[in-house]
Amino acid sequence: MQHIDIRIDGLAPDFELARQIGALIAGHDHEECTLVSWCDSRRGVHSPQCLHCEIGGEPGWLVYGRSHGGRLRISFNDDQYVLIYS
């Protein structure tokens, strides 16, 4: 899986802004991309809600994203928001 780290200073992005930027980046080289899983650490929420999917200390949403076609991991501001795209 390819990793992209994005740092935004001078503006506190919310999840929706991160999702919009992520979609632009994920779709840059691919006509079709799908947001497979995500984590919003600011609000303490993630999707999917795989409570029993944790493997090797990795959270379930990350395991799910990787095992369901995730090709791109985009992190904003040191994992404040993480988006996994297929």
Token match 């404040």: residue?
A: 80
50-79 pLDDT, tens digit each = 656 667 778 889 989 998 999 999 999 999
Tell me, which fold does domain 2-85 have in CATH? Dna Ligase; domain 1 (3.30.1490)
- pTM of this structure: 0.88
Q: Are 51 and 40 in contact (CB under 8 A)?
A: no
What pLDDT score does 29 carry? 76
10-31 pLDDT, tens digit each = 998 999 999 999 999 998 877 7
What pLDDT score does 10 carry? 92
End-to-end CA distance of the chain: 10
Flag whether pLDDT at 1 surpasses 70: yes
